[in-house]
Structure 1
Amino acid sequence: MPAISKKGQHMPQSPIRKLVPYAELAYSRGKTVYHLNIGQPDIKTPEIALDAVRVHSLDILAYTRSEGSDKYRAKIADYYSKHDIQVTKDNIIVTTGGSEALMFAFGSVMDTDDEIIIPEPFYANYNGFSTASGVNIVPVISKIEDNFALPPIEEFEKLITPKTKAILICNPGNPTGYLYSKEEIGKLADIVKKHDLFLISDEVYREFAYDGIAHYSIMQEEGIADHAIMIDSVSKRYSMCGARIGCLVSKNKEVINTALKFAQARLSPPTLAQIASEAALQTPQSYFDGVIEEYVERRNTLISELEKIDGVKVAKPKGAFYCIVELPVKNSDAFAQWLLESFDVDGETVMVAPAAGFYSTPGVGLNQIRIAYVLNQESLIKAVSILKEALKVYKD
């Protein structure tokens, strides 16, 4: 039998999706499963975006430009200007989701065996993107005791080698919900300038900032235009995960020109999804005000319920819709599988994402899970009550 590539063998499974067969088994047994494992918002997609697809007048579903349509990119630039981010359409490459934008960024600024420093825990697919690109992640650990704040800059400096090409952050963070401050972004800006590195910021959760704290983008930071690469997506902002439209944004012309070559190789982003995404830019602020209010209430409910469970530690998120929870178990992978295979309360159970997959350091995060609070408050309360009962009887 022909051999599978080493890259393929090393490609990590998704910690979010790998338990799906066990969830399907639970369904087959008639169980109800509360999904706390995946960041699929239950908020309705803006009607204006759906209507744009329903009533389009296209006769041919043709290719668009590899970098995305001029009209859409110009409107994205206008959207950013409202958030104090001054860019033009020529600074933007439209991509097939934020995932492709990250792949383009990795391919544009790093070669095989180069290194990228990422505070962990981090979005699990960063592991996959790095493996696919032949790039090595060098983690710097943030801690639940510090609410996953930016680690001291000295910890970053210790890790920089001649192979280091970039630092990557997610702001607000998946899976931690941490929102980096202007001061923290300034510290990162100083270090990338000092060591001539790129600063890549995954900002797909920009609108999801709580407690009156404003999101601060790396594109607002002065003096790092040639270092800054921003990753964005419509997926969470407009509850349009299935549209698969994102973008890479940079004022560095060489980065944009290089990313464009990767974009040309895959031809173009999806046409209908761009039409929907362009229309979504007209979504009124009232939509976001309502969404933020809802997520703040969900967050507060979730944290309050979790803090009632003995032995559980939880970091309070300042953005996005995730939190990391430390459980009194040795292995959350085994616990998550057990919940689906062997436990229920009156025919109901919960599905969580084991957090070890959000780290690249072996053995870290084994007793943690990520919870996505994308369910309504009643369901969140029910799900946490099931989790509480499960912890009472679970044996490692």
Structure 2
Amino acid sequence: MKFSSKIQRCELSPVRKFYPYEVAAVEKGLTVHHLNIGQPDIETPKEFFDAVAHFSDSVLAYAPAPGENCFLEATRRYYESLGFHITCDDILATYGGSEALQIVLSCILDEGDEVLVPEPFYPNYTTFVNITGGKIMPIPTSPEEGYRFAKRELIEPRITERTRAILMTNPGNPTGVVLSREEMRLMADIAKEHNLFLISDEVYREIIYTGEKVSSMLEMEDAAENVVVIDSVSKRFSATGARVGALISRNRELMDQAMKLCQGRLCTATLDQVGAAAMYDRLKPEYYTSVREEYRRRKDAVVEALSKIPGVEFRSPEGAFYLMVTLPVDDAEKLQYFLLQEFQDNGETVMVTPAEGFYTDPALGRNKVRIAYVTNPEDVTRSIELLGLGIRAYQEKQGC
């Protein structure tokens, strides 16, 4: 049997590839702590479950291809509350932020086209670009400079006749970077000047620690033809299993093209949209504040715990709930296998995400990991302690 060259260019997710080894560790009786996947333990708001439980239609029918009106209106009102004026025609409901990205990239990329992406980046971006026949062109960043990428001298030399878009996450996954207003303005200006789409993945919008006002690239109204926002209820409401996201743009031609794919996949799940709409409509601003403060506690815990491990290097994150960490090991993937197969402390071990898949050149991430601090501060502290103990045991095995 023959498989497409496009699918063969894709790799398994570095976030999920160790799952079989986790299962084996649990079967041996170990407790596995998770620093590897962005699955928060914050309770999903009851408003979601209440709305689904009180759904009274006698037939669970197809939703409209653009989305249930209740969800589109709730999303529009949410953005209106932030000061960003959009219409329901500017919104398409999608299966999470992931499908929104897939749709946009399918609409704008031909074989050999290029997308500029600040590196390190969310590994699934590689899959979404590769499956179109496109190519990621990395914008290199460094921890020494805070992973900042909004610089003309970094971006413009990498723009070619094949460049179609800049894809960025703000706040950043995996770096925790939060763009300033000046940096957002610069990104919009570059996109306008070079006639590029600026795809802004904003699923962590409320989770910021810098004091910056909650924002969106949608505020750059003069760049309306360029800006595409990717959004989702997954992280905002700790509802990752409710696969409801949104593709948002004022570019009418793009939205008309995207509608072809929305109609082709029929619809996003009706009940999930109903539940998502209820969360947008019924939760007060205090909800977002409380969630942000909880993540701040977790961020402080992970920073304090990491600072106690000899040889690690990292930058304190400004937003989202991830950070990149350089470890004093030769190979972070080998370390992860060791942690799951050979290491334990009092019947416990830990999972992280080796960072090779966050770079176009895997060697750049070989001794790095992404850490997700998505559990309570006490668990985060214990998880990092286990990581430190595991590193020491791994070094002793290596003869370091």
Q: TM-score, normalised by structure 1?
A: 0.98
Matched, 1:81 2:80: yes
Distance 1:290 1:237 in 2: 12
TM-score normalized by the length of structure 2: 0.97
Which deviates more from structure 2 when the two are superposed, residues 95-104 or residues 145-154? 145-154
Please state if 1:337 is matched with 2:337: yes
- C-alpha contact (below 8 Å) 1:139/1:361 kept by paired residues: no
Instruction: Tell me by how many angstroms 1:119 deviates.
Output: 0.2
Distance 1:175 1:189 in 2: 22
Letter in 2 for 1:4: F
2-side partners of 1:72 and 1:21: how far apart?
37
Find the residue that maps to 1:243 and give its secondary structure. Answer: coil
- 1:3: which partner in 2? 2
By how many angstroms is 1:3 displaced?
Answer: 2.1
Counting only pairs closer than 5 Å after superposition, residues 42-191 of structure 1 correspond to structure 2 as 42-150=41-149, 152-191=151-190
In structure 1, how many angstroms separate the alpha carbons of the residues matched to 2:385 and 2:71? 45
C-alpha contact 1:180 1:216 (8 A) present in aligned 2: no
Greater shift after overlay, 3-12 or 349-358? 3-12
The residue matched to 1:165 in structure 2 has which SS?
strand
Moved more, 158-167 or 210-219: 210-219
**CA shift for structure 1 position 312:** 0.4
Q: Return the offset for 1:187.
A: 1.2
Q: Partner residue of 1:253?
A: 252
Q: Is the 8 A contact 2:33 2:351 kept in 1?
A: yes
Q: Report 1:351-366 matches (<5 A).
A: 351-366=351-366
Matches within 5 A, 1:241-390: 241-281=240-280, 282-390=282-390
Extract structure 1 runs of 4+ deviating beyond 4 A: none
**Is the CA contact (8 Å cut-off) linking 2:150 and 2:183 kept in structure 1?**
no
Instruction: Quote the Cα distance in structure 1 between the aligned partners of 2:377 and 2:82.
Output: 30
Distance 2:310 2:230 in 1: 39
Where 1:63 maps in the other structure, the secondary structure is coil
User: Structure 1: where are the runs of 5+ without partners?
Assistant: none
Structure 1 residues 137-181: Cα deviation after superposition (integer angstroms, max 9, x where no partner): 000111111221125321211111111000010000111111111
Find the residue that maps to 1:371 and give its secondary structure: strand
Which amino acid letter does the alignment assign opposite residue 302 of structure 1?
Answer: V
SS of alignment partner, residue 231 of structure 2: strand
Following superposition, the deviation at residue 393 of structure 1 comes to: 2.2
CA 1:216/1:235 → structure 2, altered by over 3 Å: closer, same or farther? same
Aligned to 1:33: 32
Q: Distance in 1 between matches of 2:89 and 2:336?
A: 46
SS in 2 for 1:230: strand
Matched residues, number: 395
* 1:251-301 Cα shifts (integer Å, max 9, x gaps): 110011111111011011100101101111121222222211111011011
* 8 Å Cα contact 1:200-1:229 kept in structure 2: yes
Aligned residue identity for 2:13: S
Q: CA contact under 8 A between 2:79 and 2:85: conserved in structure 1?
A: yes
CA contact (8 A) 2:146 2:315 kept: yes
Cα separation, partners in 2 of 1:141 and 1:218, compared to 1, 3 Å: same
Task: Could you tell me which runs of 5 or more consecutive residues in structure 2 were left unpaired when the two chains were aligned.
Answer: none
Separation in 1 of the partners of 2:345 and 2:73?
Answer: 52
Structure 2 CA distance for aligned equivalents of residues 216 and 181 of structure 1: 10
C-alpha distance in 2 between matches for 1:270 and 1:297: 34
Q: For 1:152 and 1:183, locate their aligned partners in 2 and report how far apart those are by CA, in whole Å.
A: 11
